[in-house]
Structure 1
C-alpha cells in the first residue's frame, strides 16, 4: 500500500463510463496462508510457501511465530521460508495480533504446546470478539487457559504438551475454534477426538481447508462423522506449498466486472478454487437476477460483496444464515444495513439476523452523498467501493483498512481504470 492511501482519511470512488475489463490477480489466500504458516512452524525442516498473502493479518501471524523462536524469512513479495523444529519457545512479550481473528484463535490453541506462559491479545476490536468456546475446549483437554472477559486477551499456561482425549466444541460463533483444536491436536501426546456440539456447521468449507492443510504437512486426520474428527499425534513435516489466490478477494473483481457489464480475468476459474467463498460466483454471475434468498452460512466473507451488489439487483434479496457476521471485524450485518441506507434511506433493513436489501436498478447512474463508515473492517471498505462504480457520490472512510488482507486493493482498481480521489 502506498503512503498516500495509508494516510488518507477517505476515498471517493468515481463511477465508470465503460465496462471494466482486463486482467487482475487477487492476493494469495489469507485463509490458506494463515494455516500454512503455523503448520510449517510446527513442522520439522524447512518449508517454502509461494503465492502467499503479505498483509496485516499474515504479518501478525509471522511476527508471533518469530517471537516463539521460529525462523521465518521472506525472499520475495509472496514467499515465506519457515525453518521449524517441531517445537515453540515461550515469547518474552505478549503475542499482539491486531484484529486478526484467525491468528488469535489458531495461536491460542498452539500456545498450549509452549513450555511456559503466553498471553495472546489484539487491538480494541479484537478484544470484543468472542473466544470463550475455544477456551472451554482447551480446558477440557487439560490446558490451563483463561479469558476472563470471554474475549482476548487470553492467558495460556503452556506445559509444552497437549494431552490427548476427546473434546466437544461449540462452534456456533466460529468454525475457527474447530480448526484451531484440529491443528494443535496433530502435535498432541495421544490421539484426539473432536466432536461438534449441536447440529450442522456454518463455514464447513473452512474446516475442510484446515484438514487439507494439515495433510499437506503430513498430519493424520480422519473425519469420523458429519461433525466429528479423529487426529493422530503424528506431528508435522516440512512441505513446499503453493497458495492459491484469495477467493474472498476474487469476489470484488468478479462483482466489479458484472456490475459494469464487463469481465475481469483473475487467472483462475471459479470452479478451480478450493475455498468456499468461490461459490459466490454462481450468484454474482446471475446478476441482475440474483436469488430472492441467499444463504450465506457457507460463504460468509462473500456476503458484503453480494449485499452491495444486491442494491442494484432487479428485485429484493434476503440474506439468511449470516448470524456469525455479527462477530466479525465489526457487526457486518449492521454495517452493511447502515451503509446501504446512507446511499438511500430504506435501501436495507435487518430482521433478526437476516439482512434484507430492497434492490433498485434505477440506482445505477444516480447520485448520492454517502460517506461510508468502515469500522476498521476491510471487507466493508472493499465491498462498498463497488457501489461507487455504479453511482456518483460514494466515499469510503478509512480506506487504509484494506491493508488487513489486500494492501494493493485501491491500486488494482486504479489499474483497471477506476477513478479514485483520496482525502488526507
Structure 2
C-alpha cells in the first residue's frame, strides 16, 4: 500500500492521541509476571505490542482482549517454556525485554524476528546477563538474533553501558524482582534515553515493586519480590502524537489532542518544546494539548539524546522550515528499525532537501518539494515524511502500511483533522 499526500492549507479539530506503545509493552509484560489479575485499560494493540502479548501468552500467561481492555491473569513469575521458537516480528522492545524475562522459564527459549530485527545488536545485554547467572547467547555468534536463553536467573551484580540501548536496562530491571538473589545494575558511561527507563520504573512501582536508584552512581538495586495485579490505564503516546503535533505546527491550525499528560515521564514530550521553538503556539489543558500553527516554521538546533524516536519528525519539520535545523546527539537512532539518521537523509534528499549526515545527527536546510520516497519498512519514517507532503504537496510514500506498527489508524485520524492523505 502507498500513501499519497497533497498540500493542505489548514487543519482543525479534536483527536485522541494513540495509547503509548512504550507503556503498553511494559504494562503487558509486567502484568503477565504479576500475582493476580490485571485489567489494562486502553492499551495500544498494534503489530509491535501484539508481539509482546503473544510472547507472554507463549510463556503461559492468559491474556484476553475485551473491548478496549486487556484482561491479564498473571503468572506470579512462574513461566512455562514456549513450545516453539518465538517470532517477535519487528519489535525491538519485545526482543530486548523478553530476553531477560525468558530466563524465568525452566528450559531453553529462542527469540527471533524479521530480517530487520535480526540486525539488532544484543551483545551488551547478553554480557550483562552472564554476570547475573543467566546463560543467553546469539545462535549465529554475531551478537544478534536469534537469541537462545536458558532458564535460571541467579541475580548478583552487573554493569551495562548506558549509551547503546535503554531497553537493555529496562530488560534487566523488569525481570529482576524474580531473580533468586538481589540484583544490582550499574549503568556505565552516558545514560542516554533515560526517560524510557523512568517509564519502566514507573510501571514497576505502579504494580507494587520497590527499587532503589542511586543517581550519583547511576545504579539500581532490586530485592526479590513480586508484582501485584491491578487495574492500569495506558496514557497517550507522545511519539505517535508527534506527527499530529508536527502537522499542526507546520500548517494553519487549531488542534486539540486529548490523552497527553503534562507530567508524563515520556522523553518524547520534548516535541512540544521543539515546535514551540519553531514558531507554533502550545498550550496545556487537563490531560490534553492545544496546538495552534501559523503556517510557518523556523529552523532550530535540537539535542535528541533522550528522545531518539523524534528524529524523523524533527527532520521532516526541518525540511519544511525556513533556515537551518541541526539535530545532534542521536547516534543511537542508527540502531532502530533502520539506521534512521541515514534513511532520513536519503529520503529527504529525494524531496529536494539539502541534508548533511553527521555521525550523531543531521544538518537540514529547508526547501522540500514533492516526489516519491520509500519507507524502508520503518513506521516512523512513513508518518514523518507525510508531514512534508502536507506542506509542499505531491509526495508519494511506497510500502507505507508499516505505520500499523505503532499508529494503526494514522491516515484516518489525520484525515479527520482535514489532512489530504489518501491510501492507494
| TM-score, length of structure 1 as denominator length | 0.92
Indicate the residue corresponding to 2:149 in structure 1: 156
For 1:353 and 1:302, locate their aligned partners in 2 and report how far apart those are by CA, in whole Å. 14
Contact 1:219 1:236 in 2 (8 A): yes
Provide the rounded CA distance (Å) in 1 between the counterparts of 2:275 and 2:109. Answer: 43
Q: Which residue of 2 aligns with 1:355?
A: 362
Select 1:12's aligned residue among 1, 4, 17: 4
Distance in 1, matches of 2:125 and 2:360, equals: 23
Distance in 1 of aligned mates of 2:199 and 2:341: 25
Give the corresponding residue for 1:408: 409
Paired residue for 1:223?
A: 213
Q: Displacement of 1:290 after TM fit? A: 5.0
RMSD: 1.4
The CA deviation string for residues 251-297 of structure 1, in whole angstroms up to 9 with x for no partner, is 11111111112132111456343311012111112224656421010
Partner of 1:191: 182
1:39 and 2:30 are equivalent in the alignment? yes
Distance 1:49 1:115 in 2: 27
Q: Which residue pairs with 1:201 in the alignment?
A: 191
Unpaired runs of 5+ residues, structure 2, are 280-296
Classify 1:419/1:225 alpha carbon distance in 2 versus 1 (closer, same or farther; 3 Å): closer
Deviations 1:145-169 (A, max 9, x none): 101221111001113xx11211101
One of 299, 309, 314 as aligned partner of 2:307: 299
Q: Give me the whole-angstrom Cα distance separating, in 2, the residues matched to 1:201 and 1:38.
A: 24
In structure 2, the residue matched to 1:381 is: 382
Task: Name the structure 1 match of 2:171.
Answer: 180
Stretches of structure 1 lacking an aligned partner (at least 5 in a row)? 1-7
Residues 101, 390 of structure 1: alpha-carbon distance in 2 compared, 3 angstrom cutoff: same
* 1:108 Cα deviation after fit: 0.3
Counterpart residue number, 2:231: 240
Are the counterparts in 1 of residues 277 and 300 from structure 2 also a CA contact under 8 Å? no
Residue 103 of structure 2 corresponds to 112
CA deviation after TM superposition for structure 1 residue 352, in Å: 2.3
1:210 aligns with 2:200: yes
Instruction: Report the count of equivalent residues.
Output: 403
| TM-score normalized with structure 2 length | 0.92
| Aligned residue runs from structure 1 range 60-209, under 5 A | 60-76=51-67, 78-86=68-76, 87-147=78-138, 148-159=141-152, 162-198=153-189, 200-209=190-199
In the alignment, is the contact (CA less than 8 A) between 1:102 and 1:176 conserved in 2? yes
Matched, 1:324 2:332: yes
Q: 2:275 aligns with which of 284, 287, 298?
A: 284
